[in-house]
Amino acid sequence: MNNEQESQEIYRPSAEVIAQANVKSYEEMARWAERDLEGFWAAQAEQFTWFQRWNKVLDDSNKPFYRWFTGAKTNIVYNCLDRHLTTWRRNKLALIWEGENGDLRTFSYHALHREVCRFANVLRSMGVRKGDRVTIYMGRVPELPIAMLACAKIGAIHSVVYGGFSVEALHGRIEDSQSNVCITCDGSFMNGKIVELKRIMDEALKRSPTVEHVIVFKRTGHDVPMEQGRDYWWHELMALPITRAAPGSNRNDTEILDAEDPLFMLYTSGTTGKPKAILHTHGGYTVGVGTTLRAVFDLKEEDRWWCAADPGWITGHSYIVYGPLLLGATSFMYEGAPTYPYPNRWWSMVEKYGINVLYCAPTAIRGLMRFGEAWPNRHDLSSLRLLGTVGEPINPEAWRWYYRVIGRERCPIMDTWWQTETGMFMITPLPVMDLKPGSATRPFPGVQADVVDEQGQPVAPGEEGYLVLKTPWPAMLRTIYRDPDRYVQQYWSKYPGMYFTGDSARKDKDGYFWIIGRVDDVIKVSGYRLGTAEIESALVSHPAVAEAAAIGLPHEVKGNAIHAYVILKAGQEPSDALAETLKAHVGHELGPIARPEKITFVPQLPKTRSGKIMRRVLRARALGLPEGDVTTLEE
């Protein structure tokens, strides 16, 4: 289907959706923000508590190192927890959690706050101080958000590493962050099996002697080695008298921070083998995340919100942990696989907990769609009011299925485009807007996005180009941790004054954006972001491999699947068995999500004269497409 045909298919919101929308007019809000960007964001910031007000909303005196709400004092945890305790929300459920094995745990705002305070004391007693980095590598258990919030409460910087990553990926991230304390679980449940988190952590730490302490939350109860003097059980530390400080004791106080003090870093894959640590701060992130969640997903006090991402990715940081708590909402979190033990697991939980808003990745929808409509049709999904997607383009077929079968044609779908770097939704519908399946629609008020050509000039409607952002926004990344040059070079050098997203897109005649995909060496597999260079370096770490190139090729469920081309060392014979060994090797080094779908042994790789692998050419060949400009090709 071409763009023009796609644009013809329009879904209008019902009168009911419009009547209850938190934002009644996109145009009005967008015009306000365009007229007065700082005034607009200042007004949004009024929803939150500041210990001291800002002098300036946006300080752009040192571009592209923008600063927001300078001079203000705050702490995101005060806004997420403390301030709700003096209201009726103290008794409201903050978090409902279901384990893969059916375990159920709930936390009121009071209870969550208490756990966070106790764990903050544990961290303080271990010597963690403001500005220190703490690596968190856990399964999807309530203790993961508790650990994050406890770090933020005392001004430490958390670095969460996705629990599906493995030894090499974890090791590199611990090293780069220079963490002294790590937090993990004995294991986590996934698809009825145990993921050996603690053992992976132990392996990763063999080469990281700077880590002094490891705190281990007991989830599975299976036997894991504990190193005397380094490893401690979470529950034992929490039972120590120091953590029973009376309420109001100084030891529980939320650290008063600068709006620009760092909140967390989150590693994401880029164009080199070394993942980059995206740095976010307390003040602007609070305002950006809280504002977008309220406007886009229209959360109401009575709502139960379910963001089915993993807290280990930006989606989980912004919209499982911080966003819902900022709004005083009730958030649901599920530990395991969507199809365990049967493909109705998600739908049974929507029914059981009365979920009102569901936000997930297109890959999950495509995966569940394959099992047929009978599974969701067995359940009462009438509590749902709004749906959402994120992480990759959603194909119109999956969009329509989600709309018809899950939303029963009542629930608008918010297709939100954003990135680890942006921290918040950037191109997204609001519930009152007309929708076109497959389009993330229009920039959030205050955001100016455009599609430009190689020279940075806007392209005509319907034409493909590079997606750029032309205004700063409060939840934007501030830098790459310990690598400000790379921050400038990566995001602000291609076009002066514009943020380069790394995505290609089209804008149609109505100003709706259609995201096409990455134009750099990043592959989106099932919505997860992986760098080709990371996969390649995992491959060449195997003794049989001389050289490797990884590309993404279209895949029906995953969006993209990894295909690797491998040159073997002299004396090595290509075989199916060796291909399987190499796949398993990448899985072991980086994690199951990075495991290549297919490995092809080749005698040579297309390269530029300077020796850079031309992945673009490999992709074109695999897809039978023209190879494009190959003047620099030397095979």
Binding site for ligand WTA (CB under 6 A): 268, 313-315, 390-393, 415-420, 440, 501-503, 515, 517-518, 524, 529
- Least distance (Å) between residue 67 CB and ligand WTA: 22
- Least distance (Å) between residue 439 CB and ligand WTA: 9
Half-sphere exposure of residue 377: CA atoms within 13 angstroms, side-chain side: 8
Return the number of other C-beta atoms located less than 10 Å from residue 510's C-beta. Answer: 13
- Least distance (Å) between residue 220 CB and ligand WTA: 28
- Least distance (Å) between residue 312 CB and ligand WTA: 11
- Nearer of residues 119 and 313 to ligand WTA, judged by Cβ: 313
- Least distance (Å) between residue 517 CB and ligand WTA: 6
CA 84, 18, 432 angle in degrees (round to 5)? Answer: 90
- Least distance (Å) between residue 564 CB and ligand WTA: 21
- Least distance (Å) between residue 621 CB and ligand WTA: 23
- Nearer of residues 187 and 388 to ligand WTA, judged by Cβ: 388
**CA dist., res. 633 & res. 613, Å (int):** 9
Q: Is the distance from CB of 520 to CB of 502 less than 8 angstroms?
A: yes
- Least distance (Å) between residue 531 CB and ligand WTA: 11
Token pair of 504 as six digits = 């290609």
Helix axes 109-125, 143-153, angle to 10 degrees: 60
Q: Is the distance from CB of 561 to CB of 139 less than 8 angstroms?
A: no
Name the DSSP class of 501.
Answer: E
- Least distance (Å) between residue 442 CB and ligand WTA: 13
- Least distance (Å) between residue 142 CB and ligand WTA: 23
- Nearer of residues 121 and 315 to ligand WTA, judged by Cβ: 315
- Least distance (Å) between residue 467 CB and ligand WTA: 8
Closest CA to 184 of 225, 129, 243: 225
Q: How many residues make up the chain in this entry?
A: 635
- Nearer of residues 176 and 392 to ligand WTA, judged by Cβ: 392
Token pair of 373 as six digits = 């409509």
**CA dist., res. 264 & res. 330, Å (int):** 23
- Least distance (Å) between residue 315 CB and ligand WTA: 5
- Nearer of residues 391 and 446 to ligand WTA, judged by Cβ: 391
- Nearer of residues 114 and 518 to ligand WTA, judged by Cβ: 518
- Least distance (Å) between residue 434 CB and ligand WTA: 17
- Nearer of residues 121 and 281 to ligand WTA, judged by Cβ: 281
Concatenating the DSSP letter of every residue in 507-531 gives E-TTS-EEEEEE-SSEEEETTEEEE
- Nearer of residues 113 and 478 to ligand WTA, judged by Cβ: 478
**CA dist., res. 134 & res. 347, Å (int):** 36
Concatenating the DSSP letter of every residue in 324-349 gives HHHTT-EEEEE-S-TTSSSTTHHHHH
- Nearer of residues 261 and 415 to ligand WTA, judged by Cβ: 415
- Least distance (Å) between residue 321 CB and ligand WTA: 14
- Nearer of residues 147 and 477 to ligand WTA, judged by Cβ: 477
Helix axes 576-590, 167-177, angle to 10 degrees: 30
> Integer distance in angstroms from the first to the last C-alpha of the chain?
36
- Nearer of residues 154 and 278 to ligand WTA, judged by Cβ: 278
Alpha helices in 518-566 (DSSP H): 532-540
**CA dist., res. 291 & res. 321, Å (int):** 15
- Nearer of residues 179 and 560 to ligand WTA, judged by Cβ: 560
Q: Is the distance from CB of 294 to CB of 357 less than 8 angstroms?
A: no
- Nearer of residues 108 and 315 to ligand WTA, judged by Cβ: 315
Q: Is the distance from CB of 605 to CB of 621 less than 8 angstroms?
A: no
Which long-range CB contacts under 8 A does 585-589 form with residues at least 24 apart?
585/538, 585/539, 585/541, 585/542, 586/535, 586/538, 586/539, 587/166, 588/166, 588/167, 589/166, 589/167, 589/168, 589/169, 589/538, 589/541
**Cα separations in angstroms, 293 against 13, 23, 280, 299, 470:** 18, 11, 17, 7, 22
Closest CA to 318 of 412, 221, 422: 422
Token pair of 397 as six digits = 């077929």
- Nearer of residues 122 and 390 to ligand WTA, judged by Cβ: 390
